Amino acid sequence: MYPPKAEWKISLHGGHSGEFCEHAEGSLREILEAAHQAGYHVFGVAEHMPRVEARFLYPKEIEWGWTPQTLEANFERYAHTITQLADEFADRLTVLRGFEIEVVPQDRYEELVHYYRQKYQFDYMVGSVHYLHDASIDGYSEKDFLEMMADVGGMEEVAVQYYHKVAEMAEAVRPEVIGHLDLVRLKATRLGLAEQVATARVRKAVEEALEAIRAVGARVEINTSALRKGLDQPYPADWIVQMGAQMGVRFCIGDDSHRPAQVGFGLEEARRHLLRNGVREVHFLTREGGQIVPASAPLDA
């Protein structure tokens, strides 16, 4: 027996598969089968857009002999495959065709984001910030991150500039979803500096980012991958959800799955995270009559 498909059971960020992503496993078909079995009502797949310069390749990609052209070819295959599978699964699961953006290269990421969306006619975008001053925030080069942190003046300043970058990204490309809003909390926690990403200066930067997000109509995802990575709360933390709720920011859910076994992980925890912080419904996208339309569902139903 599959769990019931309650309307709030949605994910707008995840579905990364080993077919198209170096740090994922399994096929996209297996991911979608797992989403159906997990009881999802809507499942948005958001594969990473290509990093178009060799300096942003991941270590394993370099080891495998991949190039930016490899990433381009993989992304094109992804765009065609997700279109075919969305049609195939339509009688079981509403599958949305999306992609997760990158903010590199800094001087032309906006142009690239608009190019990929237009070329492949994606249903939506997840706006994520994985880099600050070209240094990876989520772990691909510890040395680069520590050097960047020293250059800007410490973890608090990293967090302030990170949230400024989130606001800039939201205003520049107007994504439908904001991915893992407080990703910087993971690095800070691992370095024993968690208190430095919740100071008064950081909270002000978060407020400004949330205002930019609200202004463009984006949804902040409750991303459960933080729990898999050892944090005690999903992204973003309680105080950010509370602040956003008070400001009228809309929220959705994303499992940020990178293999079939991760699909549906933390779904109930995400629901409780929202409810305890004053959010009573999720806002998402769905497909009706061949069109992508906004939707919402109560969390306490």
Please report, for residues 3, 50, 60, 252, 276, the alpha-carbon distance to residue 271 in angstroms, rounded to integers and kept in the order given. Answer: 16, 32, 35, 10, 9
Average of per-residue pLDDT across 178-186: 98
Confirm whether 4 is domain-assigned: no
- Report how far residue 263's alpha carbon sits from residue 39's, in angstroms, rounded to the nearest whole number: 10
- Report how far residue 240's alpha carbon sits from residue 229's, in angstroms, rounded to the nearest whole number: 19
Confirm whether 5 is domain-assigned: no
Confirm whether 60 is domain-assigned: yes
pLDDT single digits (tens) 64-98: 999 999 999 999 999 999 999 999 999 999 999 99
CATH number at residue 256: 3.20.20.140
Handedness of CA 166, 167, 168, 174 (dihedral sign): positive
* Cα 226 to the center of its chain, rounded Å: 11
Instruction: Identify the H or E element spanning 298.
Output: strand 291-298
Per the CB < 8 A criterion, the answer to whether 96 and 258 are in contact is no
Average of per-residue pLDDT across 251-259: 97
pLDDT for 301 equals: 67
Confirm whether 187 is domain-assigned: yes
The structure tokens listed for 149 are 């942190």
Confirm whether 33 is domain-assigned: yes
Q: Is the pLDDT of residue 141 over 80?
A: no
Q: Is the pLDDT of residue 275 over 80?
A: yes
Q: Is the pLDDT of residue 186 over 80?
A: yes
pLDDT for 1 equals: 53
Confirm whether 1 is domain-assigned: no
The structure tokens listed for 37 are 């079995």
Predicted TM-score (pTM) of this structure? 0.96
Structural domain boundaries enclosing 240: 10-298
CA-closest candidate to residue 133, choices 151, 121, 118, 115 = 151
Collapsed DSSP state (helix, strand, coil) of residue 96: strand
pLDDT for 81 equals: 98
pLDDT single digits (tens) 117-130: 999 999 999 999 99
Residue 136 β-bridge partners: 131
Band of the pLDDT at 138, cuts 50, 70, 90?
confident
Mean of per-residue pLDDT scores for the chain:
96
- Report how far residue 168's alpha carbon sits from residue 86's, in angstroms, rounded to the nearest whole number: 32
String of DSSP letters for 39-54: T-SEEEEEEEPP--SG
Domain count, the chain: 1
Confirm whether 192 is domain-assigned: yes
pLDDT single digits (tens) 155-179: 999 999 999 999 999 999 999 999 9
